[in-house]
Amino acid sequence: MADRKPASSSAASKKLDPAQSPRAMYGAELRFQRERAGLSQAGLGELLFVGNSLIAKMESGERRIQPDMAEQLDRVLDAGGFFVRNLAAGRATPYPEHFAGVVELEADATDIRQWEPLLVPGLLQTEAYALAVIRAYDPVLDDELVQERLTARLIRARIFDSADRPLYWAIVNEAAIRCPVGGPKAMAEQLRYVAAMIRRSRIIFQVLPFSAGAHAGMEGPLRLMDFKNDTPMAYLSSVGNGTLVDNPADVRRHELAYDLLGAAALSPDASLTLIEAVAEEYEHGSQPSGGDVA
């Protein structure tokens, strides 16, 4: 996959408490070394052939520093090898390594389209639902790590509170709303939350009904991301692994698959009706079963 450069628009990095985390310390040190060298974010960006917004995001801890970038920072800032020496700490993340880059890209995306065949998408998961998913994937995971992953997952949803939040469009298989993850109470809460997000015009959401039969998303979950100043990307995930795709022909093929899923799915209005009906079934103790919505 080709390296990606962020937009070169101006950005001011927020100051972090170096004691907050190793990553915060790494970002704070970058800011210190840059200012010691008498450079602005734009000035350092010019020396490194990157946009100043990337410098801002590295200083704020929003973007991890790549190994080759650490070497360049040590050289340009005469930092005595600090950035290479502490690279592991600076790249620490609560997310699996294969997914950490996706989280960073989400924050830059103007449009996110996501297909999930089995689950409510992570960006829309409530605390109880997310906890049940994390526990199901790793039943013997230490409580501290469970809480770390749960917090990290919930933090991602903050992109919906941003003034420049992305257009988010999700399609899920009907199985995602029928499977009682976390039990009836957790599922009712989860579906009511999704419905509320739809009604607040924060997201577009469709359900692919069981009656659709064979469909274009049978290979697994898919995420498509568009950017203001960069080429679109696709992310394909599987258990414990994932692949970022930026080859235009391959991305277009995945975009076609998503378009076919959207055409086969219930309309957004019909999907909302189904979601609220299933939520009510969970609330009243009914056993949800497959079916169509007119």
Average pLDDT, the chain: 86
Q: Distance between CA 205 and CA 275 in Å, rounded?
A: 10
Using a pLDDT cut of 90, give the percent of the chain over it.
55
Angle in degrees, 0-180, between the axes of helices 127-137 and 143-156, rounded to the nearest 10: 130
| Whole-Å CA distances, 8 to 46, 67, 249, 293 | 10, 21, 26, 47
Confidence of residue 52 (pLDDT cuts 50, 70, 90): confident
Residue 244 has pLDDT above 70, yes or no: yes
pLDDT of residue 229: 78
Q: Which residues of 1-32 are buried (b: 16+ CB within 10 A; e: fewer)?
A: eeebebeeeebebeebeeeeeebbbbbbbbbe
Structural domains for the chain: 22-90 (1.10.260.40), 97-283 (3.30.870)
Confidence (pLDDT) at 63: 76
pLDDT at 287: 55
Asked whether the predicted pLDDT for residue 7 surpasses 60, the reply is: no
Per-residue confidence band for 275, with pLDDT thresholds at 50, 70 and 90 = very high
Among candidates 90, 87, 155, which has minimal Cα distance to 127? 155
263 phi/psi in degrees, rounded to 5: -70, -30
Partners of 116 in beta bridges: 172
pTM: 0.75
DSSP for residue 79: -
pLDDT reported for residue 273: 98
Q: How many residues does the chain have?
A: 294
R_g of the chain computed on alpha carbons: 21
CA 130 from chain center: how many Å?
14
Lowest mean pLDDT among 14-23, 110-119, 172-181: 14-23
Q: Of 113, 119, 143, which Cα lies nearest the Cα of 239?
A: 119
